[in-house]
Structure 1
Amino acid sequence: MKTLLIGLSAALMFTVAPTAASPAPEGGMTPAAIDAYLGEALESTGLPGMSVVVTHRGRVVHAAGYGNDSHGDPVTKDTPMRVASVSKSFTAMAVMTLVEQGKIKLDRPVAGQLPGFVMADPRAATITVRQLLNQTSGLSDTTVDIGALESATSLADYTSRLATAELAADPGTRWAYCNVNYNLAARLVETASGLRFGDYLRKHVFRPLGMRTSAVSDEVVKPADGHNSIFGAWLSRPELPAFLDESGSGGVITTAADMGRWLILQTGDGGPLVKRESLRTMHTPVKIRDYGMGWGLDRDTGLLTHSGNLFTYNAVEAISPTTGYGFAVMANSAALTDDTYAIMRGLTAMSEGRTPEQLGGDRQWFELVLAAITLAAACLGVMGVLRARRWAAGRAGKPWWRVALRMTPVLLPVAVLAAYPDLISFLMNGRTVTWAQLTYFAAPMSIMLVVAAVAGALTAIMRLVRLR
């Protein structure tokens, strides 16, 4: 998901010398030109670190790391990073390899192929595997207990916890982005193959492609902690605990070097994993939404893309069916916006002979505004407490409803804070957002709101005390 709010950062990091493979097919898209752009992008966005790969048809044009990891070591093209929902394209690929083997039927109900999958809604019996991958199953965060699912200990346990869940729509009639779809698909891979999901990916996706530093478990490949920006200071933090290990919706850990091999597969003919027809199936969007199977179509640019957003990591992958270019940008940080997408768009512009738009500044200015509002709220709270006696004296003997009406403005931040997670969930089209999550990527906004609510509450309390 791409958020609309922006934050502040000021850390400028060191650039790691890039390691480029083959020269770019077009003169303007050279390793040196890409490196110069990415160095400027790191400085202007203030990201603590990022790794990037650019491919063109059958070869890597440029792969490099920039900035530092959470331990202060340079990021390189071989630095493992979480790629969040970019994982969905890998899960779709795993499913399609089993479809070609005849072990999974794409257009038959999941319930008949996945033991233990039962929901309270009878319509769930008709959900097909294709609908899971297209995100048209009817599953939605609004009708599923996401909190209970995130505490699952395995994909089998995850699946069993859906027994009381309902659908938000008839299967095939509505598109809704929901991680449950891809975690069910990962469990289907396990039951169809007889292997744990991570083992299947390693043996039948990562290994054939030469992706030696990729996994879906941090016990296999350990990424460094990511970062959050707190009013300009990047704070290293462990990823928020959730169902990440073996997750089909967002568990993949990989490197820029490995993503280069993945992009080459996607812009080629599908070998050595699947046939060209299967690749085309995954890339083709459904009629009701510009989304295929782990890939979305950007109609403005013609790119096939997928973003990934965790709470301390951001990532994006993109391929151009027209030019044959592939791009992956991964950052070891998360804030109120995702700069990886903007950087990818800049690389796309270069590949098409255009000048990239200037990056950076928006996030920094927005978070500066949040900091200013936070400071102003604190000052107003102090003034409100100190002037409570004067305020009360001016309203002595007034009707209670007039006093209550004058108290409303200072209590408004309290009301907003009480509804905060639900409000953000609504703004994110029904995606479930928890209090814990809002202390990560949205920390500056959350701090601002808490300070404003505390200031308002203390002012109101002192006014009532003085009135009595």
Structure 2
Amino acid sequence: MRILLLLLLALVTVPVNTSPGTAYVVTRGDAVVRVEGVGRDGNGALVTPDTPMRVASISKSFTAAAVLTLVDEGRVALDQPVAGYLPEFRMADARAGAITVRQLLNQTSGLADSTVDIPATQRAGDLRGYVAALRRGRLAADPGTRWAYCNVNYDLAARLVEVVDGRPFAEAMRERVFRPLGMSDSSVGGATADGYNSIFGVWVARAELPGFRGGAGGVVTTAADMGRWLISQTGHGPQIVSAGSLRVMHTPGAAAGDYGMGWGVEHAKGRALLVHSGNLFTYTAVEAIDPATGEGWAVMTNSAALNDPTYDQLLALVDGGAYQPLDRRRQVIEGVLGAVALIAIGLGLLGVRRARRWRGRLWRLLPALIPVAVFAAYPQWVSVLTNHRTVTWPQLVYFAAPLTITLGVAALAGLATVVARLWARRSVGSAR
């Protein structure tokens, strides 16, 4: 026990950077106030304001802007059914034909992870294949009646941009969003160095988990380019959408709660901020703007862990403070999990060693099987805790690796104890 306490103390007291690499930017009006890169990327190179970073679901605000450029041109109407622009869009639910473009962007379409074959969409090779993978899906609610965060909304929106614009989505985004704003180092699906996962306090470089990423999470950008984006979104500098469309993007929709189009309203530090975060398996990001003051902030890291500090780091910047590189919470959480894993190993070894002396009734083995049951249903209960988002085993060995390892060790220890006791009981019975 003394050794376990010493290990835990070491994990939570040794200063460890929040992330191997971070880039952040602060803007005010039409100017970049501060932009910096700290740490290193997966190749060992120093992170700079021009280092490419995956921004995951922040991509949704870019996709919404692309759709609204088409709205401003009169080529798309927000309240027209998506199927009118995408005849290929069909589902096993007739209500899908009534989903409007606005409902996609407000995430009130009725689409949800729980009623769509998400693994099938992730195997798609392009947006056309992605839409085809929705054929057997159904809606979780009538369109326009309930808000549910679902990546499918924005990948459908990306396909809409692709079809109406007449160019591949990545090219349409470059010409409609990135190039007009001077975001020359931004793209959809661009290359980045490997990111990192924290495993019991140690940062381990890992390749990003494969999967389809289009309008919902495919943007790769830099801190310098994010500065140009934030300036535009506060209504300063070059504009790609009309003032009216910018207000629509930033205004929560009917039945959407605090969610607009790729932006959500959050009240923090006495401000009404517009915020969107993004989480992949080895990259994390968050962006925010204050429409009242014309300020903007973004933090991007090349890492992902059980505890995501980027929002707290962003709030420190909102307060006018410096970037805060340390993350004690991650160290504490992973230190506790490491200690639990070591205790489970010890109890498992003890249970196996003492199995020959065990003479209890069979029902007394049930407590040892509880960790086995918890681990077997791991993806299912995590899905429930994350509002029924689809969770797979491969995902759980990335940013959730410390929890997954701890639960797996506990399950293995419990199972080993049960098997050893049953074997000893059988041996005793045979001897008689």
TM-score (norm 2): 0.93
Q: Which residue of 2 aligns with 1:40?
A: none
Q: Which residue of 2 aligns with 1:298?
A: 266
Q: How has the CA–CA distance of structure 1 residues 10 and 192 changed in structure 2, closer, same or farther, with 3 Å as cutoff?
A: farther
Residue 159 of structure 2: SS of its match in structure 1?
helix
Q: Which residue of 1 aligns with 2:430?
A: none
Structure 2 counterpart of 1:339, from 287, 295, 309: 309
The offset of 1:324, in angstroms, is: 1.4
Alignment deviations for residues 255-302 of structure 1 (CA, whole Å, 9 cap, x no partner): 000000000000115843111110000000124310000000003441
Structure 2 counterpart of 1:157, from 109, 125, 129: 129
d(CA) in 2 for partners of 1:229, 1:357: 18
Q: Which residue of 1 aligns with 2:389?
A: 431
Matched, 1:139 2:111: yes
Structure 1 counterpart of 2:164, from 172, 177, 192: 192
Structure 2 counterpart of 1:329, from 268, 278, 299: 299
Q: Is the 8 A contact 2:12 2:332 kept in 1?
A: no
Structure 2 counterpart of 1:318, from 280, 288, 292: 288
The offset of 1:174, in angstroms, is: 0.2
Matched, 1:183 2:151: no
Q: Which residue of 1 aligns with 2:336?
A: 369
The offset of 1:360, in angstroms, is: 2.3
Q: Which residue of 2 aligns with 1:128?
A: 100
The offset of 1:200, in angstroms, is: 0.5
The runs of at least 4 consecutive aligned structure 1 residues that moved more than 4 Å come to: 8-12, 355-359
The offset of 1:151, in angstroms, is: 0.3
Q: Is the 8 A contact 1:304 1:319 kept in 2?
A: yes
Residue 187 of structure 2: SS of its match in structure 1?
coil
Residue 319 of structure 1: SS of its match in structure 2?
strand
Alignment deviations for residues 342-396 of structure 1 (CA, whole Å, 9 cap, x no partner): 1001111127xxx9999621110110000000001011101000000111xx33x
The percentage of aligned residue pairs carrying the same residue is 58
Matched, 1:227 2:199: no
Q: Which residue of 1 aligns with 2:77?
A: 105
Quick one: which amino acid aligns to residue 372 of structure 2? V
Q: How has the CA–CA distance of structure 1 residues 203 and 10 changed in structure 2, closer, same or farther, with 3 Å as cutoff?
A: farther
Q: Is the 8 A contact 1:414 1:454 kept in 2?
A: yes
The offset of 1:9, in angstroms, is: 7.4
Matched, 1:266 2:233: yes
Q: Which residue of 2 aligns with 1:238?
A: 207
Residue 78 of structure 1: SS of its match in structure 2?
coil
Q: How has the CA–CA distance of structure 1 residues 11 and 365 changed in structure 2, closer, same or farther, with 3 Å as cutoff?
A: closer
Q: How has the CA–CA distance of structure 1 residues 326 and 264 changed in structure 2, closer, same or farther, with 3 Å as cutoff?
A: same
The offset of 1:73, in angstroms, is: 1.2
Residue 82 of structure 2: SS of its match in structure 1?
coil
The offset of 1:323, in angstroms, is: 2.0
Q: How has the CA–CA distance of structure 1 residues 357 and 151 changed in structure 2, closer, same or farther, with 3 Å as cutoff?
A: closer
Q: Is the 8 A contact 1:143 1:167 kept in 2?
A: yes
d(CA) in 2 for partners of 1:270, 1:151: 39
Q: Which residue of 2 aligns with 1:390?
A: 357
Residue 209 of structure 1: SS of its match in structure 2?
coil
TM-score (norm 1): 0.86
Q: Which residue of 1 aligns with 2:146?
A: 174
Quick one: which amino acid aligns to residue 104 of structure 1? V
Q: Which residue of 2 aligns with 1:407?
A: 365
Residue 110 of structure 2: SS of its match in structure 1?
coil
Gaps of 5+ in 1: 1-7, 13-42, 396-402
Q: Which residue of 2 aligns with 1:84?
A: 56
Q: How has the CA–CA distance of structure 1 residues 357 and 329 changed in structure 2, closer, same or farther, with 3 Å as cutoff?
A: closer
Q: Which residue of 2 aligns with 1:25?
A: none
d(CA) in 2 for partners of 1:155, 1:249: 11
d(CA) in 2 for partners of 1:390, 1:44: 46
d(CA) in 2 for partners of 1:10, 1:86: 31
Quick one: which amino acid aligns to residue 327 of structure 2? G
| Bigger mean CA deviation after superposition, 369-378 or 97-106 | 97-106
Q: How has the CA–CA distance of structure 1 residues 323 and 72 changed in structure 2, closer, same or farther, with 3 Å as cutoff?
A: same
Alignment deviations for residues 82-112 of structure 1 (CA, whole Å, 9 cap, x no partner): 0000000000000000111111111000011
Q: Which residue of 1 aligns with 2:247?
A: 280
Quick one: which amino acid aligns to residue 463 of structure 1? R
d(CA) in 2 for partners of 1:446, 1:456: 15
Alignment deviations for residues 328-351 of structure 1 (CA, whole Å, 9 cap, x no partner): 100000000211111001111127
Q: Is the 8 A contact 1:283 1:295 kept in 2?
A: yes
d(CA) in 2 for partners of 1:58, 1:9: 43
Quick one: which amino acid aligns to residue 98 of structure 2? T
Residue 299 of structure 1: SS of its match in structure 2?
strand
Q: Is the 8 A contact 2:379 2:392 kept in 1?
A: yes
Q: How has the CA–CA distance of structure 1 residues 284 and 66 changed in structure 2, closer, same or farther, with 3 Å as cutoff?
A: same
